[in-house]
Structure 1
Amino acid sequence: MAGSGKRRRVRGSRVVAVVAAVGAVGALTVTFVSGGGRGSASAEANLNDFVPIERVAVNVPTPRLGPNASKGVFTVDCGTNRNGKFSPDNPVAQPGIRNGAEHLHDFVGNLAIDANTPDAVLAASGTTCRNGDRSSYFWPVVRIDKAVRANLGTQALGAVQPTVSCPRVADRLPAVPASARDSVRRDLAALDRQLASANARLAASRGRIDQRLNQSVIGALRAERAETIKRISRTMSGAGSRPRGLVSLVDCEVSYDGLHATHSAAPVTASGASPGVRCPSVRDKLPGVPASALDEVNRNLDLLDQQLAEANERLVTTKGQGGPNFALNAIVGPLQSKRVATLDRIAIAIGRTAPRPQGLEALAPCTLDERPVGGQPGGNNNGNGNNGGNGNGNNNAGEKPLPEPQGPNLELPNNTGRIVQPSKVLIEYRGNPGAKVTAMPRFLRALTGDAKPTSRGPANARATWTCSGFADRLSDRYPICPDGSQVMRVQDFPGCWDGRNTDSENHRAHLAFADPTTGACPQGFVAIPQLRISISYDIPRAVQLRGQYALDSFPEENHNPFSDHNDFVNVNSEKQMRRIAACLNEGRRCS
């Protein structure tokens, strides 16, 4: 079947290039795997990654509708990201890690979301969705780069040492009770030791991508972190300060950041990205908090999160307004004043029954992260630093910040060229062919596809590519469409839920895909509205034929079309989700 299935992505021209690289560096070994990467990093596409859509066999099943089928469809219009909310954050798969995706995402819906945004802040955010849906929908951008051609030179993995990157836990905790402080610190230190041990194990795969070792290391680390983070949660809850959402911080990633070293940024003088406000972290700087002050301190910590999110949302909604100092004077300055007052209230609350913490006022100033190319990040978010950080519940101590988008095209290492704005984004909640659906829970996290089939394996990767007029087939290669047909990505999310959790330790286990022919959910799961996002692009056919359009990706994926993915955070109200479920169960078409 041309262009579908879990294909072996090894091409003759690429093998020659890698063999040559082996001779040059001596130590390079590359594990080529089904469905993934080239074992190198370059900004070019590969013509073998493209296929005329007519050559792709029909492969989309049409499930038979049962007597209890929920036949309706609920459509949401959230636009096509005309406001330009782009980010290399992934709040679902890599919460708390700034620029963790290492590639750019289109965001529609929620205007406040970034890697650190708490649920309460998401619920109060503005949105691009016409019906008031505050959910966040985001996917990797597509670019056209006519300056590169397929099968040019490659940069091999020879000198690259993979490392593990994990979300920082200390930055996401509520106020730590004084009675629990020592125990929590011991467990945060244990997280650091676990990370160091995982990185020591990965040293054996220097210069190559080893799926089995990666899966073994990440699986063992996930189990250790899960137990340690649960212990932190139990300790703090018992002392009167219950953390929420810590399960989202369990999973870690294997990163090949060393491949960035060969990338040259575009010759421009300033970043074209929407600026962001960066503020020093506060949660990890507080002493143990007396029991009598916990509620007040936590209210003010939440307020700091809200203030920062509001500032960043204003940067999106006021883009292009005022003069060169508008953002500093109208957004960053007032934010600092608010933070001064909030930090003072925190110090007063603690000081009533314990020594007043000194120096919190130094955490009030924030910076506008609007840097010239090559500059360093202006500061840290209230909930998180960069993807590095120094201990206190993880991330690699001393690790360099991940790259920021650069220039008017928001380029990142190995992700270059003009971003193609979708001509249409269709967001649909769909029924189940065999059962009535249950309303989704609020703040459900979901993802589909896999951004790293090379380093993680292809088990979760999905074929998503097609052309308008060819909805009966999906390809894991970039389609070449006939005249008058648009390039499309069709991304289906899991439609079954475990009935309890809004996230899970690997961000997948709380959801499952229904049987594609019957719609049956696995045992223990219930049917929920199945999200489908269809994205259409006007890409000139000459660009398609020359292999000049490609997906943004992690460096080791090299624009692998099989690395396509999509993410979602449900911020619909409970009332709205019941309305969506009723629409589907009654067989109506709604919006």
Structure 2
Amino acid sequence: MLIGATALLLGGGGLAAYATTALAGNSTTSGATSGHQHTAAAAFTISCPDVGERLRTVPRSAQLPVSKGLSALDKQVHDAYHKMMGGSGSAVMSPLKAQREKTIRMMVTAIAKNTKRPGYLLKMSGCTTKPVNEGAGAGGNDSTKTVKEGWYQGQNQTQNQTQDQQQSQQPGQDPNQQGQDPNQNGGQQGQAGGPSPDDFVDITTVQPNADAPPFAAPKGGNASTGTFTTECGRNEDGHFNSDNVIVTPGVSNGAHHTHDYVGNKATDAFADDNKLAASDTTCNNGDQSTHYWPVLRKLDGNAEQKPGAAQDANVGTTLTPATVTLKFRGSQVGQVEAMPRFMKIITGDAKAFTNGTKNANASWSCTGFEDRQLKDKYPLCPQGSQVVRTFAFQNCWNGRDIDSGNHRDHVTFSDQNGVCPNGFKAIPQLTQRITYDVPQGDSFAVDSFPEQLHKPVTDHGDFINVMPDQLMSKAVDCINSGRNCT
């Protein structure tokens, strides 16, 4: 829990206090052109190996202990980050490692009761400090590179899908021997808690980099060119919580940031398949599927006192989407098959700033400029143009599993030609396109884990397919026959 004021690390280890609301920005002072004030901030954040990404098999008996463990690991990093920001510097790293060792050991023990012991997880307790201006992953992420047709199918994820995540330190390495000490940060400037002014770019200065919008239907002689659109509203009823029923089922506030929901009205941390199947929905065609993503906030300093908000360093008024479009599309190389009911898919990575961009997959743009897509920048849109967030989900399935230990291995992306990897088959590809009316200037950001600094590259979308089988069959038929249906 944050209180009154927190100290920031400045050059030479000095301290400067800032108000709690500065974590996500304050109201603009008279005459300022920015949407919020930018405050001196520590030049480092905390980067820890992603235990959830390395999970492979989680028996049903271990699901709750693993969920609690993953949430505890996030809370431990949260607390260490704020202690570091409060002046403790690198002294937080050894206690953090000890906490993580205990939690990971508990998870390993729970998993090992019914399957092979994942001892490799025990090597993931040590964390490092990461410069906040280093970019996401090795070499950062170039938003201005040319993006060819088919880019939205996640070529980068496909190339790395089967590789174990590379860690930035060796087991047992001193986490403070990673360059500078965070107490010697040179007085770099930025937004306290993020985002930074450098996280925004004027969309009119970006060169067109996409041959087709990320929600366009595939083209080609053998393509399944139809679409199926489901209308589920804009979350006008205010269905919010900070749970994540896919990653941390059974744990309240397991996401540590607030999610926007449309579709299934029963979705929270405790919604099992039976509860979802019995629920009402906001979709007008009877689709009971669950769609959710981190809320977008206006950085006005409004501290909402509820889980996932102010306590977890997500501050500002929640913005209701102007439009939400949920569209399924086909394959470039042939027909698609129905996805099974209760399949769970995550696209993007909530920890991409420290994890690197292997799984990053959200896209940002502005209405009227959607031939210009940004991966690691927020767009500054002209007057009258709306901010656009787009998520393109995995379009290949292994044909067996509705979920996997890390919630990624059972699905993947086709290559740039639309071909699924061996052992995978094409399924309807979901795209979530969300638009917003935002204040002018660098005055908005997505919710995030505190140490991820509200970076746009951490944006992500989640989906649980709860379509009745008959409706899924209709969607597949529309897509394969080249029709556009709702």
Query: Is the 1:441–1:502 contact (alpha carbons within 8 Å) kept by the matching residues of 2?
Result: yes
1:188-267 equivalences under 5 Å are none
Q: How many Å apart are 1:447 and its aligned residue? A: 0.8
Q: Counterparts of 1:488-503 in structure 2 under 5 Å?
A: 488-503=388-403
Q: Give the match for residue 328 of structure 1.
A: none
Q: Deviations over 1:184-234 (max 9, x none)?
A: xxxxxxxxxxxxxxxxxxxxxxxxxxxxxxxxxxxxxxxxxxxxxxxxxxx
How far off its partner does 1:66 sit?
3.0
Taking only the aligned residue pairs, the percentage that are identical comes to 44
Query: How does 1:143-222 map onto structure 2 within 5 Å?
Result: 143-147=297-301
1:569 lines up with 2:457 in the alignment: no
**Partner Cα distance (1:413, 1:558) in 2:** 12
TM-superposed CA distance for 1:456, in Å, is 2.9
How many Å apart are 1:119 and its aligned residue? 0.6
What is residue 81 of structure 1 aligned with on the other side?
235
Aligned residue number for residue 136 of structure 2:
35
Cα deviation for residue 98 of structure 1 reads 1.6
Change (3 A) 1:41 1:479: closer
Structure 1 residues 61 and 496, CA gap change in structure 2 (3 angstroms): farther
The 1:16/1:110 distance shift into structure 2, 3 A limit, reads: closer
Deviation of 1:458 after TM superposition, in Å, equals: 2.2
SS at match of 1:432: coil
Q: Is the 8 A contact 2:347 2:362 kept in 1?
A: no
Cα–Cα, structure 1 residues 526 and 22, in superposed 2: closer, same or farther, change >3 Å? same
User: Map of 1:570-585 to 2, 5 A cutoff?
Assistant: 570-585=465-480
Q: 81, 84, 91: which is aligned to 2:245?
A: 91
**Match among 343, 357, 378 for residue 444 of structure 1:** 343
Write the letter of the residue equivalent to 2:386. Q
Aligned pairs for 1:413-452 (under 5 A) are: 413-452=312-351
CA distance in 1: counterparts of 2:129 and 2:360, whole angstroms: 21
Q: Is the CA contact (8 Å cut-off) linking 2:252 and 2:269 kept in structure 1?
A: yes
Structure 2 portions without partners, runs of 5+: 1-37, 46-83, 94-127, 141-181, 183-189
Q: What displacement does 1:71 show?
A: 0.3
* SS of corresponding position for 1:30: strand
1:17–1:434 distance in 2 versus 1, CA, 3 Å: closer
Partner of 2:197: 47
What secondary structure does 1:91 align onto? coil
Deviation at 1:499, TM superposition (A): 0.9
Number of matched pairs: 319
Opposite residue 47 of structure 1, the aligned amino acid is P
Q: In the alignment, is the contact (CA less than 8 A) between 2:44 and 2:130 conserved in 1?
A: no
Query: How far did 1:94 drift?
Result: 2.2
Cα deviations by residue, 1:455-512 (Å, 9 ceiling, x for unpaired)? 4332101241110112222212110011221001011001111111100111001111
Measured against aligned partners, the alpha-carbon deviations of 1:318-350 in whole angstroms (never above 9, x if no partner) come to xxxxxxxxxxxxxxxxxxxxxxxxxxxxxxxxx
Query: Partner residue of 1:540?
Result: 439
1:106 matched residue in structure 2: 260
Alignment-mate amino acid for residue 553 of structure 1:
S
Matching residue's letter, 1:503: D
**Equivalents in 1 of 2:245, 2:87: separation in Å?**
41
Asked whether the 8 Å contact 2:397–2:426 carries over to 1, the reply is: yes
1:71 to 1:558, Cα distance in 2 relative to 1, 3 A: same
Give the distance between the partners of 1:505 and 1:67, measured in 2 at CA: 37
Residues 534-583 of structure 1, C-alpha deviations (whole Å, 9 max, x = no match): 00001132xxx2x2211100111121110000000000011111110000
Structure 1 counterpart of 2:80: none
Amino acid at match of 1:531: L
Cα offset for 1:147?
3.9
Judged with a 3 Å threshold, the aligned counterparts in structure 2 of structure 1 residues 490 and 67 are, in CA distance, closer, same or farther, namely same
Deviation digits for residues 272-294 of structure 1 (CA, Å, limit 9, x no counterpart): x6xxxxxxxxxxxxxxxxxxxxx
Q: 1:21 to 1:556 in 2, by over 3 A?
A: closer
| Letter of the structure 2 residue corresponding to residue 126 of structure 1 | D
Counterparts of 1:76 and 1:52 in 2: how far apart (Å)? 32
Q: Could you list the per-position Cα deviations for residues 420-451 of structure 1 after superposition, in whole angstroms to 9, with x for gaps in the alignment?
A: 00000000011112111101111010010000
Does residue 1:555 correspond to 2:450, yes or no? yes
Give deviations 1:11-52, integer Å, cap 9, x for gaps.
Answer: 99767688x979974647622454179x99945531111001
**Inter-partner Cα distance in structure 1 for 2:90 and 2:238:** 45
User: Does structure 2 conserve the Cα–Cα contact (< 8 Å) formed by 1:451 and 1:565?
Assistant: yes
- Conservation of the 8 A alpha-carbon contact between 1:75 and 1:590: yes
Report if aligned partners of 2:208, 2:372 keep a CA contact under 8 Å in 1.
Answer: yes
Larger radius of gyration: 1
Structure 2 Cα separation of the partners of residues 123 and 463 of structure 1: 28
Distance in 1 between the 2:457 and 2:191 partners? 16
Change (3 A) 1:529 1:559: same
Bigger CA drift: 46-55 or 579-588? 46-55
Moved more, 554-563 or 90-99: 90-99
1:587 equivalent in alignment to 2:486: no
In structure 1, how many angstroms separate the alpha carbons of the residues matched to 2:229 and 2:385? 23
Aligned partners of 1:90 and 1:101 also within 8 Å: yes
C-alpha distance in 1, partners of 2:192/2:483? Answer: 48
Q: 1:100 is aligned with what amino acid?
A: G
Q: 1:535 to 1:21 in 2, by over 3 A?
A: closer
TM-score, normalized by length of structure 2?
0.61
1:273-312 to structure 2, matched below 5 A, reads none
Question: Would the alpha carbon gap of residues 568 and 485 (structure 1) be closer, same or farther in structure 2, given more than 3 Å must change?
Answer: same
- The letter for the 1-side match of 2:200 is F
Whether 1:56 aligns to 2:220 is no
Greater relative contact order: 1 or 2 (C-alpha under 8 angstroms, separation 6 or more)? 1
Mapping of residues 342-491 of structure 1, within 5 Å: 404-405=307-308, 411-475=310-374, 476-491=376-391
Which residue of the other structure, out of 137, 141, 151, is the alignment partner of 2:295?
A: 141
Question: Cα offset for 1:67?
Answer: 2.4
Query: Does the residue aligned with 2:448 lie in a helix, a strand or coil?
Result: coil
1:56 positional shift: 2.6
Gaps of 5+ in 1: 1-10, 149-264, 274-403
Structure 1 residue aligned with 2:110: none
Partners of 1:414 and 1:558 within 8 A in 2: no
1:12/1:526 CA distance change after superposition, 3 Å = farther
Distance in 2 separating the partners of 1:501 and 1:113? 21
Does the residue aligned with 2:129 lie in a helix, a strand or coil?
coil
Distance 2:234 2:396 in 1: 27
* Contact 1:34–1:458 (8 Å) recurs in 2: no
User: TM-score scaled by structure 1?
Assistant: 0.50
